Structure 1
């Protein structure tokens, strides 16, 4: 299989049947028939594959453009701004993402290293002393098309999916480890690497967005000095730790808006001490006040 065209009808049918989250753990589908305005989202460690159309994602000061036949790999939990750039009713934007399990990456990378040593080759090493951006774009490697196709075909197969799904995901990661995406995967999977340690912190901040915690405490969580932690955190996420936590809080607040809670109650729930400061930050980030944004969100869902 040397092209992606056969994946388009499969993915489109899955979206029509199940929507954005089909019943396969870690699989998400994006479908749009027109370009979009700004989309705020939190990416998790995953491989996003674009089948049709084009998209732009922004992380900090970095902009990533990717289109049909290309992929975006995220190696950490990241608050990202995005726009779908190319989409129409005749040629909709179609993409899907697959979650990547760091522990599986580690296991398979170690197996690959052992095989290289057994064959007399010099096993490559992953430096724990460097960090790299947690987003990377690339051409979709042809070798992953077959496992991706089989993963999509397992959706809704209650007999085979529980057994073959994890095996096919392992094959996908194994094949990715033989592509140009290998360094990014290794940064995710090497436990003592800086990217992996930063990812531990980003996961904590995402799961504990309302917590009051200092940069020194986050640095200790990553087993780094404050200066080193701040430098590597910015290298990976393109944001400072304080900026990152603020964006995670604002994304969670936006999710809670549709529940019709009081704006002040939402601000306290996500960790703000001042509703007025929350409203100022919200408007700066989303371009609308919380109340205006709620009205637009509710109008979209009818």
Structure 2
């Protein structure tokens, strides 16, 4: 090793240490700010498109629908299932979702001393497209299928942008001017990062992903109606086999599985929030056969409808007393 090489290695080590310290400080600040903003377990939307979450105990699996968004954890860890695919992320990784999808998620690490703390920022396709144009980023050239969800490491610049976004909650007067700029910066950094190609497919006009996004929107709007896959494929200009292939490649589910999850999740919500019985909920979401509904409900959630709802209500009471 020459004398000239020693300072260069030393500088590299110092730079690595500074970056590690910066990441650590930003994670600590993000956790502290979320903890101050949301004092009790639950979720909060303090700004349009910005969702904060806190929980003090590991949670059982939760069924939900998530829109195009990026999620960052400040403290704790979480797993998400999309079809049979599992994604785990933590303070060192972010989760990107590019199509509105039904998913199953579970908070794994959380305690009273160190609660799970996270944020999620919605990503509007029109805004992503606008940032791409401004940054002169090209669309993917291949007409490929891209899975609508994945996890990647959080780099220092991306995490720093999220911290500055959350700081705005202490300065409401600055929100109108700075939140759009920070949101665009986050999108730009995502586009230039490891998951840039995945995010670009969200606005790719020539590829199949926007067609599938259109199909997803239609299925969400008409989930209680009979599924006419051939008609939907024809409207999108796709063959039936091609539509099935590309739909599953992006969403990790067949169209029928996708619709079934939407129906069963909505039925569960109706029984919990509107106090419907199983037959009433089944009818509202498009099931004609109550026994068929009961079988599919148990297959997804593990227990029959009314027993499941009773358990959820008991858990909610226990949690509120906690």
- Within-5 A mapping of 1:58-77: 58-77=81-100
The CA distance in 2 between the partners of 1:189 and 1:11, in whole Å, is: 31
Higher relative contact order (CA 8 A, sep 6+): 1
Relative to 1, partners in 2 of residues 1:280 and 1:179: Cα closer, same or farther, differing over 3 Å? same
2:120 aligned to 97, 101, 118, which one? 97
Larger Rg: 2
| Structure showing the higher helix proportion among its residues | 2
Q: Give the C-alpha shift of residue 280 in structure 1.
A: 1.0
Q: Which residue does the alignment assign to 2:292?
A: 277
Q: Which residue does the alignment assign to 2:51?
A: 28
Local SS of the residue matching 1:130: coil
Contact 2:76/2:116 (<8 A) preserved: yes
- Within-5 A mapping of 1:154-233: 154-155=168-169, 158-233=172-247
CA RMSD of aligned residues (A): 1.9
Local SS of the residue matching 1:188: coil
User: Does residue 251 in structure 1 map to residue 265 in structure 2?
Assistant: yes
Question: Over residues 79-98 of structure 1, what are the superposed CA-to-partner deviations in whole Å (9 max), with x where a residue is unaligned?
Answer: 11222222222222211111
TM-score (norm 2): 0.85
1:9 aligned to 10, 26, 32, which one? 32
The CA distance in 1 between the partners of 2:56 and 2:188, in whole Å, is: 34
The CA distance in 1 between the partners of 2:176 and 2:168, in whole Å, is: 9
Relative to 1, partners in 2 of residues 1:207 and 1:12: Cα closer, same or farther, differing over 3 Å? farther
Local SS of the residue matching 2:65: strand
Question: Over residues 96-135 of structure 1, what are the superposed CA-to-partner deviations in whole Å (9 max), with x where a residue is unaligned?
Answer: 111011111112112322xxxxxxxxx6441351011111
Gaps of 5+ in 1: 114-122
The CA distance in 2 between the partners of 1:137 and 1:69, in whole Å, is: 10
Q: Give the C-alpha shift of residue 45 in structure 1.
A: 0.6
1:286 aligned to 275, 288, 301, which one? 301
Relative to 1, partners in 2 of residues 1:242 and 1:8: Cα closer, same or farther, differing over 3 Å? same
Of the structure 1 ranges 10-19 and 85-94, higher mean CA displacement relative to structure 2 is found in 10-19
The CA distance in 1 between the partners of 2:226 and 2:288, in whole Å, is: 10
TM-score (norm 1): 0.90
Relative to 1, partners in 2 of residues 1:231 and 1:111: Cα closer, same or farther, differing over 3 Å? same
Contact 2:139/2:201 (<8 A) preserved: no
Question: Over residues 145-198 of structure 1, what are the superposed CA-to-partner deviations in whole Å (9 max), with x where a residue is unaligned?
Answer: 232122222337553323322222112112221111211110112233212221
User: Does residue 150 in structure 1 map to residue 164 in structure 2?
Assistant: yes
